[in-house]
Amino acid sequence: MTKIAIVYYSGYGHTAKQAEAVHAGAASVAEAKLYRIDANGDLPEADFAALADADAIIYGSPTYMGGPAWQFKKFADASSKPWFGQAWKDKVGAGFTNSASTNGDKGSTIAYFITLAMQHSQIWVGTGVMPSNAKAHGPNDVNWTAGFGGALAISPSDASPDEAPRKGDLETARLLGVRVAEVTKKLRG
C-alpha cells in the first residue's frame, strides 16, 4: 500500500494542528503516518528507517526568523546520510508551514523544503489549489493564505492552537495531503 510520511516540528502546537490536517487528507487516500521531530531536533533511528520505506515524505515546520525551525534543520542535516546514497530518490515531496504574520517569509521556508527535496531527488507536489483572493474572502476560505509551492497557515501571535490555524488554512493542509497521496499512488502504485 502507498505510504505517506509526514515529518514535522512544532513549537507551540499550531504546526502540529496543520500536520494533523495534512495527515487526515493523506490518510483518506493512502496509509499515512506522522513523525514528530523533538525539541532537541532529533528523530529516532527507527523513524529514519520508516522514512526510507515511505513513498512520499512531506515536510512541515513553523517559520521562525525567516526559515524552518533549527530543529527541522537538524533533521535535514541528519538526512545527509540517506542523501549520500540517494535513498529517498523518486519519493514524492511536499511541505507546509505556519507563522504569525500574514506573509512573514513563509515562502522562504517552503523554498527551503523544495531545495532539500531536490537534493534528495524527490518529486515535488504543491497545493494545486487556486487562491481565494477576492474582497469577500477571508481566513475561513480555502487557500486564502495563498500558497502554491506548499501549504501556508497564519496563526496570529495571540491565537492559541485552539484558535489557529483557521478553517481555510486547515482545509488547504488537508487538501495537500489528499493531493500528495493521489499523485504518489499514480506514480508509485
CB of 16 to a second copy, least distance (A): 18
What is the distance between the terminal CA atoms of the chain, rounded to a whole angstrom?
8
Q: Does 27 bind a second copy (CB under 8 A)?
A: no
Reduced to 3 states, what is the DSSP secondary structure of residue 115?
helix
Residue of 52, 137, 161, 167 interacting with a second copy (CB under 8 A): 137
Q: Does 119 bind a second copy (CB under 8 A)?
A: yes
Cα separation, 119 vs 111, in Å, equals 13
Residue with cell 517569509: 105
Centroid of chain to Cα 163: 20
Dihedral sign of CA atoms 92, 126, 145, 168 in order: negative
Residue of 24, 47, 52, 70 interacting with a second copy (CB under 8 A): 70
Residue of 52, 73, 161, 167 interacting with a second copy (CB under 8 A): 73
Residue of 79, 173, 174, 176 interacting with a second copy (CB under 8 A): 79
Cell numbers placing 40: 532537541
CB of 179 to a second copy, least distance (A): 9
Q: Does 106 bind a second copy (CB under 8 A)?
A: yes
H or E element that contains 22:
helix 14-27
Cα separation, 46 vs 27, in Å, equals 21
Q: Does 87 bind a second copy (CB under 8 A)?
A: no
Cell numbers placing 49: 528507517
Interface contacts to a second copy, rule CB under 8 A: 41, 64-71, 73-74, 76-77, 79-80, 83, 86, 89-90, 100-108, 111-112, 114-116, 118-119, 121, 123-128, 130-131, 133-135, 137, 144-149, 152, 154, 156-159, 163, 183, 186-188
